[in-house]
Amino acid sequence: MDISVQGKHVDVGDALRSHAEAALDGTVNKYFTRALNASVTFSKDGQAFRVDISVHAGRGLSMQGSATHDDAHTSFDQSLERITKQLRRYKRRLNDHHKGMQDEPLMGQQFVIAPEQEEEVPEESQPVIIAEMPHAISSLTVSQAVMRMDLADSPVTIFRNRAHGGINVVYHRTDGNIGWIDPSDTPQK
């Protein structure tokens, strides 16, 4: 697994770098032996240290965790605890739900659009697309889609519903609950 440890306006010393690499490698390899890559970013948040960890454990599976504390090592350890909990939960659910075969994922496009300028922009102008990437739309159950959304710490997940094959969306609502959009033609009972 490729591990990147970097600092934003923080000098990451050799001791902290080796601690982060060893702990992250050991934790991820405990659950996923073929994980692809991971990145750790140390930054300052006022007087405290903020650590953001992102792990790409496999096809369509990424986890993110962050923590803030006065000590950089403690902040890293707290962030790693969150990643460990996500890895353990996902591995357990993967073993439980691995009974059925997964269909090939649909391919879609994912776009990143530049934010609107604060200066006055003519109404007929279109927003600037700054990134266009292919994105696999997996065939999942609703609970698996919610789990992936939580693991990736994402606000929304699009998936093909394994029950009927239609495209569905799960998302975090502003009231803290999770919403589910199922535009299938079959009425829910």
Judgement on whether residues 86 and 116 belong to the same structural domain of the protein: no
Q: Running DSSP on this structure, what letter comes out for residue 173? A: -
Residue 43 has pLDDT above 90, yes or no: yes
Quote the tokens at residue 15: 């001791």
- Domain of residue 14, CATH code: 3.30.160.100
Instruction: Take residue 55 and report the two structure tokens written for it.
Output: 């792990």
Q: Are residues 126 and 71 in the same domain?
A: no
At 127 the three-state DSSP class reads coil
- Range(s) of the domain holding residue 157: 106-181
Q: How high is the pLDDT of residue 101? A: 46
Residues 117 and 59 in one domain: no
Q: How far apart are CA 130 and CA 127, in angstroms?
A: 9
At 101-143, the pLDDT tens digits run: 455 555 565 555 555 555 555 556 666 766 666 777 888 998 8
Last residue of a domain, one of 56, 80, 97: 97
Task: Give, in order, the Cα–Cα distances in Å from 18 to each of 4, 22, 29, 42, 125.
Answer: 11, 6, 16, 14, 49
Number of domains the chain contains: 2
The answer on 22 and 51 residing in a single domain is yes
Q: Which of 66, 51, 54 is nearest to 28 (CA)?
A: 54
**Residues 62, 10 within the same domain:** yes
* 135 and 168 part of one domain: yes
- Residues 81 and 153 occupy one common structural domain: no
**Angle between helical axes of 142-152 and 72-97 (0-180°, round to 10):** 160
| Residue that is last in its domain, among 97, 126, 160 | 97
Q: What is the pLDDT of residues 70-110, one digit of tens each?
A: 999 999 999 999 999 888 887 777 666 545 545 555 556 55
Which CATH number belongs to the domain containing residue 110 in this structure?
A: 3.30.505.50
Is residue 23 domain-shared with residue 60, that is, in the same domain? yes
Q: Write down how long the chain is.
A: 189
Q: Which DSSP state fits 151? A: H
Sign of CA dihedral 77, 79, 85, 86: negative
DSSP-based three-state secondary structure for 45: strand
84 & 122 share domain: no
